[in-house]
């Protein structure tokens, strides 16, 4: 199984660390799982404008293809204005409506406002569902206070949520065959 993680922040590192942690947990739970982390700051993904993928630059083509070739995905985003980042939305805008058919699509959010833990459910889940992704029942919201100054996750409960998300992604993807 190829599990691809997307880190949708162009600013700092908390989302990258959280996605990396879920991918690491997935490999620890099942050594046959192959993982790849795509940090959107490493790629020049052009703005989706309705043109076919062939019209876009190599980075856009490569990132979209990595997403399409994954068996399962976890999407990580900081919460921006009670929603997801424009960078992640732009990547999702490049995809066809059945892009995630037969794929499990997990959600990880980071944020500074505790009450925004539901943003994944209300903002990201509808997009993943529209693209036919199977969204796990659990998602991981990691509050900024769960990190130390080096952006290491120091909160046991946050780690447990990421562990459970990794386990559910693997279990669901296996059940899809
Ligand atoms: C433009 C902007 C808007 C933000 N809006 C919210 C918000 O609505 N709710 C929230 O909980 N955090 C908000 N934040 C805080 C970030 O979500 C938070 O610091 C996150 O952990 C940053 O992730 P990163 O280190 O991966 O960039 C915002 C940050 C920025 C820069």
Mutate to test the pocket of ligand 1, among 6, 111, 124, 149 (most ligand atoms within 8 A of CB): 111
pLDDT at 117: 95
Ligand 1 within 6 A of CB of 123 = no
Pick the closest to residue 90 from 53, 121, 132, 45 (CA basis): 45
pLDDT at 147: 98
Which residue spans within 8-164 are E strands per DSSP?
A: 34-39, 72-78, 104-111, 140-143
DSSP line for 9-42: -SS-SHHHHHHHHHHHHHHHH-TT-EEEEEEGGG
Confidence check: pLDDT of 85 > 90: yes
Contacts of 42 (CB under 8 A, 6+ apart): none
Confidence check: pLDDT of 177 > 90: no
Mean pLDDT of the chain: 98
Name which residue sits closest to atom 18 of ligand 1, judged by CA. 111
Pick the closest to residue 166 from 84, 72, 79, 88 (CA basis): 72
Mutate to test the pocket of ligand 1, among 7, 112, 153 (most ligand atoms within 8 A of CB): 112
Section 127-151 average pLDDT: 98
pLDDT digits (tens, 9 = 90+) for 12-26: 999 999 999 999 999
> Residue 50 and residue 53: Cα distance in Å, rounded?
9
The domain that holds 33 is classified in CATH as: 3.40.50.360
Q: What percent of the chain has pLDDT over 70?
A: 100
Mutate to test the pocket of ligand 1, among 79, 81, 89 (most ligand atoms within 8 A of CB): 79
Q: Structural domain of residue 19, as residue ranges?
A: 2-176
Name which residue sits closest to atom 5 of ligand 1, judged by CA. 80
> Residue 88 and residue 170: Cα distance in Å, rounded?
23
pLDDT at 55: 97
Section 138-165 average pLDDT: 98
What domain count does the chain have? 1
């Amino acid at each position: 199984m190829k599990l691809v993680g997307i880190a949708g922040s162009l600013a700092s590192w908390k989302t990258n660390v959280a996605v990396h942690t879920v991918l690491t947990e997935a490999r620890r739970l099942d050594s046959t799982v192959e993982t790849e982390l795509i940090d959107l700051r490493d790629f020049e993904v052009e703005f989706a404008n309705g043109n076919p993928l062939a019209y876009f630059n190599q980075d856009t083509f490569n990132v979209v293809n990595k997403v399409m070739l994954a068996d399962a995905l976890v999407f990580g985003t900081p919460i921006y204005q009670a929603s997801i980042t424009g960078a992640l939305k732009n990547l999702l805008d490049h995809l066809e409506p059945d892009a995630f058919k037969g794929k499990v699509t997990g959600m990880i959010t980071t944020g500074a406002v505790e009450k925004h833990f539901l943003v994944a459910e209300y903002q990201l889940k509808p997009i993943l569902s529209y693209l036919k992704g199977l969204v796990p029942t659990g998602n991981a919201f990691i509050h900024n206070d769960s990190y130390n100054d080096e952006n290491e996750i120091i909160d046991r409960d946050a780690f447990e949520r990421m562990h459970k998300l990794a386990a559910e992604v693997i279990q669901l993807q296996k059940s899809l065959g």
